[in-house]
Structure 1
Amino acid sequence: MAQIKDENQSKQQQKENETLNKNKLKKVVYTLKPALMLENWFGLFRFSIVNEEELVPPNAKLKIFGVILSIFFIVMFAVFVDFPDTETESIMELMDEVPSMVVLSQYFIASITTSSCLSAIAIRIFETFAELDSMLLITTTQDFYNKSRYQTNKYLIILGVSHIISSTLDLLTDDEIVWCKLFVLPIYFLQKLEVLTFCKLIVMIQCRLQIINKYLTNFIEEQEKNKALVFTLAESNPKKTDKFNWIGCPSPNNMKIRDLATMYDVIGTICSLINDLFNIQIFMTLVSTFTYIVIAIWSTLYFYRAPNFTFGTLTTIIIWCITIILSVVVMSFVCERLVSVRNNTKILVNKVIMNYDLPKTMRVQAKAFMELIEAWPLKIMVYDMFSVDISLMLKFISVATTYLIVIIQLSHFV
């Protein structure tokens, strides 16, 4: 009878844990839902939600819809674009459309891979986030997730306003309506939206890693405070603090540092999954950005010597170059910030290791934690060729400057 009772209790506990994880999963999706809905409007479906609590791969109809929609944009662009004749000016005008062709190619590839090849990775990312939130004891109230949702909405509003301004200026500087731009400008917005989604996922990792750092910081400060009490008199009316010592009191049986190491391992797994999910998107974004910058410089130098050149056109080109480069800058900054938070974790764990007043078992746990930190550098690598951080932005600017010099020299012979 006792064995049957224990089995029933374990089954009931398992059901409660499943229900809790489903609720957490729903809340995690809730934080990023506005961006995911915008992606759906462009035919990019990372997953489908069943019964508002389960994530499943998109069905065949959604996959086909995404591919057909991307083909529609490509066909309409090809219909309205002006193909060159033998004149040099027409060739130069077509060169201005090369970045648009690259962006449309990126859109077509994304419509196939996002819903078909990468759907399982996206589902696993959100499910792992839900498990991590349960381990971190993130409050069951909506406050944490509401703040994250508000942050997502704020980013989307900034993105939308900036894209509308740059697109409007681009259309107003043209002498006549260029219909092909009407079909490619939304795709430029989608490209920036993909960058925003990637950055938001990295920020979600960063927020959870900061919670781990907070637990470590509170524990370290508590130990330093206990040391100080040996030599100083306590205040008669001590101030109340909101700091929560999640690790607890030092004890040979205290395994909370090991639990924090497990959480960091989960964060490393999520970071690796995000890397796999956005590898091709980041690579294509860098290719299209570099292509746009090089051709924008070339066409600006060419049309600058033309009699019908206007400074309004130059202003539009500058605004578009700034908005395009900002995508690379934002990605680099966000990834660099994550590495910085990870380095703070490393410093805090090292302080625990160097505290010889702690039990040996806790210091051994901290050493194992340090090995995990070394194993998971939390860097985003694009096909293992280069990392997305501040150094990428500097390399990008360096290469663009080199091509600028080459283009200026070649422009004298055209």
Structure 2
Amino acid sequence: MDGTRFDSILYMLRPLTIIENLFGKFRYRKVGGNIDVLNRGMKFYAFFIVCLSVTSFGIIFLNDVLHQTLSGFSKIVDVVDEVASLMVVIRHIVSTAVFLHYTKNNVHIIKLIAHIDDNLNISKNKKFYRDSRRLIQIEISIFIIIYTLLAIYNLNAKYTLPNEILLTIIDFECHLEVLAFCIFIKTMKDRLIIVNKILEHVIFTKNRRHTLNIPTKNLRNQNVLYAGYTINDSSIIRTLGITYDLIGEACDEINKVFKFHIFKALFTTFVYIIITIWTSIYYIRTLGTFNSLLRIVLMCLFDIMSVGIMSYTCEVLLLKRNSTKILVNELIMNYDLTRQMRLQAKAFMELIEVWPLQIYAYDMFAIDIKLMLKFISVSTTYLIVIIQVSHFF
């Protein structure tokens, strides 16, 4: 594959990869314009960053714990804070190990995006990549601003300032992976939108016996102007089917790379919800730990927001996939089309059934908008259980 085909994609993803590189996470290694898996130097740098951060946190954390003289309810609340802090560090270690394990998959994802863009004839459309990069920059900026405001408030916690800053940086990296997942899913969603736009123009075009010329001015979506698309009518459906197959394969690779991060986000959010409920009950009884309770509530809300955005992003992808299915079915049911095009449309429909574009966390939890309702249901159940159990303490 020509290495220059990756330049626009890497340019689009650079705002994300620059921040990830600071934490020792490299998704690819650029070799003469091409991309390849990581070398030993990159992996060693990632290992060094993890060891440095974890060792520094451990030393400061143990020093803070040994010099604390707490009793009663304050001690219970601080133990909960310490458990939450250790969870952040542990998931940081495991997250980095999992990230390095899937380095080949990260490279494959970028190559699949390049194939998809070639099929959709947008590889040379610089404006499309600039606009996509601008949206990624906006998303990252909003994420940093919200997290910074939350971190500033949390710096008033009981630990020393160096430990709080280090813990904030580690936690920031963990949440960054959720944002990266949403960015990659959105990238697939944008390509699927183009597929749907072309299908709409195929359906709109009445003359099926001649070369199908789709005017450039008609290929507009979200103020993005795509390159003109000229394809012989005997192969346009097959080309779009192949493109959808690549999108399905790319989504499957994204699922493999991020399934641990998805599960980690769900598990952490669930634990924070339980801790928040438990702390709230004891706060109502003692009326003396408002600051600790408010900090845990803010952390819980931020994690719930992360899961909500993740669920919404996957739900939008599923909606676009359903739109693709409707459009292809319309082609199948159009008996004015040539037999060859209808057969290609039927093959396209089989690909849609093969690739449902559903994201799972280790095949246990489907990531869609229904996930938030399940969280609310489970949280309500545990709220009742904790209220009943709290009477024994």
Q: Is the TM value for this pair above 0.5?
A: yes
Quote the Cα distance in structure 1 between the aligned partners of 2:7 and 2:133: 12
Aligned to 2:30: 49
Deviation of the 1:62 alpha carbon: 2.2
Aligned to 1:287: 267
Query: What code does the residue aligned with 1:292 have?
Result: Y
Aligned to 1:322: 301
Deviation of the 1:111 alpha carbon: 2.0
Quote the Cα distance in structure 2 between the aligned partners of 1:107 and 1:241: 47
Aligned alpha-carbon RMSD (Å): 2.3
Quote the Cα distance in structure 2 between the aligned partners of 1:99 and 1:213: 45
Aligned to 1:6: none
Contact kept in structure 1, 2:196 and 2:323, CA below 8 Å: yes
Query: What code does the residue aligned with 1:157 have?
Result: S
Query: What code does the residue aligned with 2:217 have?
Result: D
Query: Kindly tell me: are residues 190 and 293 of structure 1, through their superposed partners in 2, closer, same or farther at Cα, counting changes over 3 Å?
Result: same
Contact kept in structure 1, 2:265 and 2:303, CA below 8 Å: no
Quote the Cα distance in structure 2 between the aligned partners of 1:86 and 1:161: 34
| Equivalent of 1:136 in 120, 130, 147 | 120
Aligned to 1:12: none
| Equivalent of 1:361 in 335, 340, 361 | 340
Quote the Cα distance in structure 2 between the aligned partners of 1:246 and 1:307: 67
Quote the Cα distance in structure 1 between the aligned partners of 2:86 and 2:294: 23
Deviation of the 1:273 alpha carbon: 0.5
SS of residue in 2 equivalent to 1:55? strand
Deviation of the 1:193 alpha carbon: 0.9
Matched, 1:264 2:264: no
Query: What code does the residue aligned with 1:25 have?
Result: F
Residues 149-198 of structure 1 deviation map (CA, whole Å, 9 limit, x = unaligned): 101110110000000111111223x3674543222111221122101111
Deviation of the 1:65 alpha carbon: 2.3
Query: Kindly tell me: are residues 248 and 140 of structure 1, through their superposed partners in 2, closer, same or farther at Cα, counting changes over 3 Å?
Result: closer
Question: Which ranges in structure 2 are unaligned for 5 or more consecutive residues?
Answer: 209-214, 220-227
| Equivalent of 2:129 in 145, 150, 161 | 145
Aligned to 2:383: 404
Query: What code does the residue aligned with 1:196 have?
Result: L
Contact kept in structure 1, 2:8 and 2:123, CA below 8 Å: no
Deviation of the 1:60 alpha carbon: 1.7
For structure 1, which segment, 381-390 or 148-157, has the greater mean C-alpha deviation from structure 2 after superposition? 381-390
Contact kept in structure 1, 2:25 and 2:99, CA below 8 Å: yes
For structure 1, which segment, 53-62 or 212-221, has the greater mean C-alpha deviation from structure 2 after superposition? 53-62
- Written as runs of structure 1 = structure 2, the 5 A alignment for 1:269-348 is 269-306=249-286, 308-310=288-290, 312-348=291-327
SS of residue in 2 equivalent to 1:305? helix
Query: Kindly tell me: are residues 46 and 268 of structure 1, through their superposed partners in 2, closer, same or farther at Cα, counting changes over 3 Å?
Result: same
Query: What code does the residue aligned with 1:70 have?
Result: V
| Equivalent of 2:218 in 221, 228, 243 | 243
Question: Which ranges in structure 1 are unaligned for 5 or more consecutive residues?
Answer: 1-17, 228-239
Matched, 1:376 2:376: no
For structure 1, which segment, 394-403 or 126-135, has the greater mean C-alpha deviation from structure 2 after superposition? 394-403
Matched residues, number:
374
Contact kept in structure 2, 1:205 and 1:267, CA below 8 Å: yes
Aligned to 1:114: 99
Query: What code does the residue aligned with 1:333 have?
Result: Y
Deviation of the 1:359 alpha carbon: 0.8
Aligned to 2:224: none
Quote the Cα distance in structure 1 between the aligned partners of 2:151 and 2:180: 21
- Written as runs of structure 1 = structure 2, the 5 A alignment for 1:161-240 is 161-172=145-156, 174=157, 177=160, 179-223=162-206
Contact kept in structure 2, 1:202 and 1:338, CA below 8 Å: yes
Contact kept in structure 1, 2:77 and 2:292, CA below 8 Å: no
Query: What code does the residue aligned with 1:80 have?
Result: I
Structure index of larger Rg: 1
Query: What code does the residue aligned with 1:109 have?
Result: V
Contact kept in structure 1, 2:5 and 2:123, CA below 8 Å: no
Query: Kindly tell me: are residues 304 and 396 of structure 1, through their superposed partners in 2, closer, same or farther at Cα, counting changes over 3 Å?
Result: same
Quote the Cα distance in structure 2 between the aligned partners of 1:100 and 1:309: 18
SS of residue in 2 equivalent to 1:97? helix
Deviation of the 1:363 alpha carbon: 0.6
Aligned to 2:21: 40
Query: Kindly tell me: are residues 395 and 304 of structure 1, through their superposed partners in 2, closer, same or farther at Cα, counting changes over 3 Å?
Result: same
SS of residue in 1 equivalent to 2:35? strand
For structure 1, which segment, 92-101 or 136-145, has the greater mean C-alpha deviation from structure 2 after superposition? 92-101
SS of residue in 1 equivalent to 2:30? strand
Quote the Cα distance in structure 1 between the aligned partners of 2:369 and 2:154: 30
Aligned to 2:8: 27
Contact kept in structure 2, 1:96 and 1:296, CA below 8 Å: no
Query: What code does the residue aligned with 2:187 have?
Result: M
Query: Kindly tell me: are residues 72 and 300 of structure 1, through their superposed partners in 2, closer, same or farther at Cα, counting changes over 3 Å?
Result: farther
Query: What code does the residue aligned with 1:100 have?
Result: S
Query: What code does the residue aligned with 1:286 have?
Result: L
Aligned to 1:104: 89
- Give the TM-score taking structure 2 as reference length: 0.88
Quote the Cα distance in structure 2 between the aligned partners of 1:378 and 1:281: 18
Aligned to 2:109: 125
Quote the Cα distance in structure 1 between the aligned partners of 2:79 and 2:158: 17
- Give the TM-score taking structure 1 as reference length: 0.84
